């Protein structure tokens, strides 16, 4: 039951984050290209920016690439929902959230410093701010689903192969015989 609930909630959030990370990659790459090419005032008028822009764009592109990779790994985890996939999914998702949090801090700094910024740069700022929160919710959801299913007595986390002792199969103690001689047949 936990698997169905977790995939029904995490699946749409994973898809939403994947699409937002892809859009972030497109806009941040465009802005970075214009920023690198535009050392003249004429070319920089399309994005504007301030002293934090270069660092912000670098971390935004890095966060977008790590986010896309983490969503691909997360999709594989939601498809199979096993312990071995959880380790890679949680690691990449947490790493993507950490870099997105760094980009979030730089976005806040860039907004705080002020100055004129083009609409594309403001879109990148908004996407990073939104993704910092939605990625954090995804990481919490992923870990809470793992915690719930590990600490349930009746089911294990992984799919496993029933009866083999691998995966979610929890060995149960055999009940003691009630009276009589153990092993005697009647």
For 170, list phi and psi in degrees, rounded to 5. Answer: -105, 120
pLDDT tens digit sequence for 168-177:
545 555 666 5
Supply the Cα-derived Rg of the chain in whole angstroms.
24
pLDDT of residue 155: 45
Q: Measured between alpha carbons, how far is residue 119 from residues 16, 123, 125 in Å?
A: 22, 6, 10
Residue 176 token pair: 């003691």
160 vs 67: which has the higher pLDDT = 67
Average pLDDT, the chain: 80
Whole-structure pTM value: 0.75
Segment 150-170, tens digit of pLDDT: 555 444 444 554 555 555 545
pLDDT mean over 56-66? 96
Note the pLDDT tens digit of each residue in 15-54.
999 999 999 999 999 999 888 887 655 555 667 778 888 9
Number of other CB atoms surrounding residue 106 within 10 Å: 22
3-state helix, strand, coil in the chain (%, to 5): 70, 0, 25
């Amino acid at each position: 039951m936990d698997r169905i609930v977790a995939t029904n909630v995490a699946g749409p959030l994973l898809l939403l984050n994947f699409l937002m990370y892809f859009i972030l990659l497109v806009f941040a790459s465009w802005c970075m290209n214009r920023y690198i090419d535009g050392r003249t005032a004429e070319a920089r008028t399309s994005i504007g920016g301030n002293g934090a822009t270069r660092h912000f764009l670098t971390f935004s592109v890095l966060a977008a690439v790590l986010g896309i990779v983490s969503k691909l790994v997360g999709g594989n985890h939601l498809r199979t929902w096993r312990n071995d996939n959880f380790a890679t999914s949680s690691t990449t998702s947490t790493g993507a959230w950490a870099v997105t949090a760094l980009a979030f801090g730089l976005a806040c700094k860039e907004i705080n410093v002020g100055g004129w910024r083009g609409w594309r740069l403001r879109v990148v700022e908004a996407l990073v701010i939104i993704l910092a929160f939605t990625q954090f919710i995804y990481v919490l959801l992923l870990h809470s689903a793992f915690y719930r299913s590990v600490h349930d007595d009746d089911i294990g986390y992984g799919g496993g192969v029933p009866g083999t002792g691998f995966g979610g199969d929890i060995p149960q103690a055999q009940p003691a015989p009630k009276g009589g001689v153990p092993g005697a047949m009647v």
